[in-house]
Structure 1
């Protein structure tokens, strides 16, 4: 599994790098607008954080002020409140603009994501459907069969890998997505039949099947 996972991760990384380059070349205006909006949102968030800290400091000072200093301290609090509200409005506008620029790139970004998933399935499914093994399973000396012991066909091979790949894709390869995908595969550790959740759905099972090695001898 480690070998197969490494291959898939490399495929995804290469696809993402190539996709990012293509998007930059084909959508330069949208890409530049997205970068600018991202920088503006970061700056607005920092300004809001600074305004909130200034307001907190002014409130603390006002709570301790006495006599003639009290009125001045309260006026400063009001000033800081207005500054914070202004920073919040600026942050909201920056967030909306960032979302707008992200939407403009959603189509090509989704296309790259789908391409990554298709490449992962292309690596996993055909070899499993034909031989019951991926390269990683061949190295481990195991293979996939139907739960009734019959050889695998295309649909069970496809459905077996669709769940973990779909979960990771749906969550955009985020840490939760990867964890859920790995969880569906590693379920066999707690399953009495040593089946992952994807095995149960596709009605498959992994069995030991060492690959015969060719021995060369002298004549």
Structure 2
């Protein structure tokens, strides 16, 4: 936007101490927050753990959203602009429809697959969105999730094996980053979505998430597990 006052801050969003540092930096520099768009993620062909001892796909693609959102929630409650309520936008994926929350092996210690871990984390995003929406009811803050499309970006660029090879083949045929941002911008800015919360969107329209994503019991279970993993 012409004339916008921009500031950048960097953090490793797979590391909880880094997320807390970033949130503290934002709180120190801003009295309010109007919109938070959670959009950090990756897919990995090999299992690894973060500095916190958590499988890195779950840590980055899911827990990073949870922790940063909760760390900034007070700023969001003080936000809002031009008569619109403050918004949280969680960039998930249609891959969530292939996801399963494996409560017996959440971090893939017994069996790991890159796409399996990614789909589980994206399902976690949608489950978290619904659980958070219930807790934010009446607060003035809304939260929604979305599928941005399959975008021509750096996603999976560092993945090896068949996973990385497959992404390299299809990358030239994917949607542009500008097109991929459209639904996120819609959820962040559209006046008609003021007050809409706990929904899932694709192509700038509300869509129906998977059956697992609509399971209230699973939403609450993932909420509890996630809070335990971030020490909340």
TM-score when normalising by structure 2: 0.24
Which structure has more helix as a fraction of its residues? 1
Which structure has more strand as a fraction of its residues? 2
